[in-house]
Amino acid sequence: MEPADQLRSRPTPIPGLVLFDLPVHGDNRGWFKENWHREKMAALGLPDFGPVQNNISFNALRGTTRGIHAEPWDKFISLASGRIFGAWVDLREGPTFGKVFHTEMSPREAIFVPRGVGNAFQTLEDNTAYTYLVNDHWSAAAQADYTFLNLADEDVALPWPIPLERAVVSDQDRTHPRLGDVAPMQARRTLILGAGGQLGTALRREFEGDATVDFAGRAQFDITNEDAYLATNWRKYSTVINAAAFTGVDAAETDDGRRAAWRINALAVSRLARVAVEHSLTLVHVSSDYVFDGTAAVHREDEAPAPVGVYGQSKAAGDAAVAAVPRHYIVRSSWVVGEGRNFVRTMARLAAQGASPAVVDDQWGRLSFAEDIAACIRHLLQSGAPYGTYNFSNSGEPQSWADIAREVFRHCGSDPTRVGSISTLDYSGPGTAPRPRSSVLDLSKITDAGFAPPNATERLAEYLEAREPLAESGETA
């Protein structure tokens, strides 16, 4: 192999396994190389995998053979001295299970090994130093998550330069299972928090049947309880979707509500953000139009927050914490409608009762149906959209609350003219939180990311047609 005069990457037959050619600069004193360069290597396709530990394996004798070990973290492997025959076998669950790649390596090469790909090597020179960066801390307990394959497996049939019967191999490595007996390493999982609320229920339906998704309501994981974080094996997860929130806009203006809003929407979210950074997780968080004061006619993602109430202030603080996570999606929604108590169901009940409500006519926005927020979140994760903040509501012309109430009455077979209008000023009173006048969100960024929000009017009709009979349990307007 010709020495590399510049850093290069080369793909391999195993998805995610990337080989690098490293420039080595030598003179009469020895040699020097940039063994790890985050910025340069990321530009060549290396994931920004966040290494946290550096390990070195020194092998005194030629023929020392180690493996085949698939570990529950990513590794970046290179040599400080000597040469090896390196071999990698995909032991991840999926269609590439059992796929093989092997090559010789010297200090001029390095390789990125994704989680679940079995790694092995045989030294071709004495005094070979083999070094690797990993993105999780080793512990004795972590070995329970390893997947092993026998070095002599007949199906893989690795062409060891030095036959294994003459190689230096540990007793343990000689007893690992054959490929047919290996339980593939499962992909990291997704954890959905707040799975009992409006959005959480929609997320349950969106990810129904996906065996890699875990759902946790408050009883299973209380985001305000430190013990819940300590009891969770975060190594199992790649993604956390936070659908838990304090949503009592008016209640947040009370003494108890103010404390609850900040505890749940800000402090707990900052704790989640810290976990995401520590464990290199993707964090998905749902925000609100209430982080804006509503003076802009249409709100873009890059608008500075200016909340006018406690609820919006606590949500803006949570957003700021999430934005510091390298891998994050903030999905900012408005006027959410899902299962349980909400404005649309309340208006449908009033229509059935023959009531004539007065509804605010000078606040503008679009409905966001929980099922569509859930589908938007799934799209962002599966499409690999750039991390960041995305506005989401259903599409169509902006409406006032009074406009929406009249649509609900009409769909329910009631006279829409029975819905009267009232201004925000006249509606507001003691205990009523301030609200943004305009909650209209610009949808161009999420559309450009490949997700077209369904029309709000069409979704409203479908929602009303599918709703349960209105025997609803104590709803109030």
Residues designated catalytic:
69, 132
Terminal alpha carbon distance of the chain = 76
- 67 within 8 A of 151, measured Cβ to Cβ: yes
| DSSP helix/strand/coil, 204 | helix
| 362 and 424 Cβ atoms separated by less than 8 Å | yes
CA distance 274 to 322: 9
Question: Using CA atoms in the order 302, 260, 228, 288, what is the torsion angle rounded to 10 degrees?
Answer: -20
**Residue 433, SS3 per DSSP:** coil
Instruction: Return d(Cα 316, Cα 322) in angstroms, integer.
Output: 10
For 242-259, b/e burial (b = at least 16 CB within 10 A) is bbbbbbebebbbeeebbe
The pair of structure tokens assigned to 294 is 């509503």
Q: How far is CA 445 from CA 129, 249, 393, in A?
A: 49, 27, 12
* Sequence-ordered list of residues with C-beta below 8 angstroms from that of 469, at least 6 positions apart, any chain: none
Cα–Cα distance, 57 to 132 (Å, whole number): 8
Cβ atoms of 140 and 115 closer than 8 Å: no
Q: Which helix (H) or strand (E) holds 226?
A: helix 226-230
List of residues 6+ apart from 295 with CB closer than 8 A = 306, 436, 437, 438
Beta partners for residue 168, in sequence order = 64
DSSP letter string, 452-473 = -PPBHHHHHHHHHHHSPPS--T
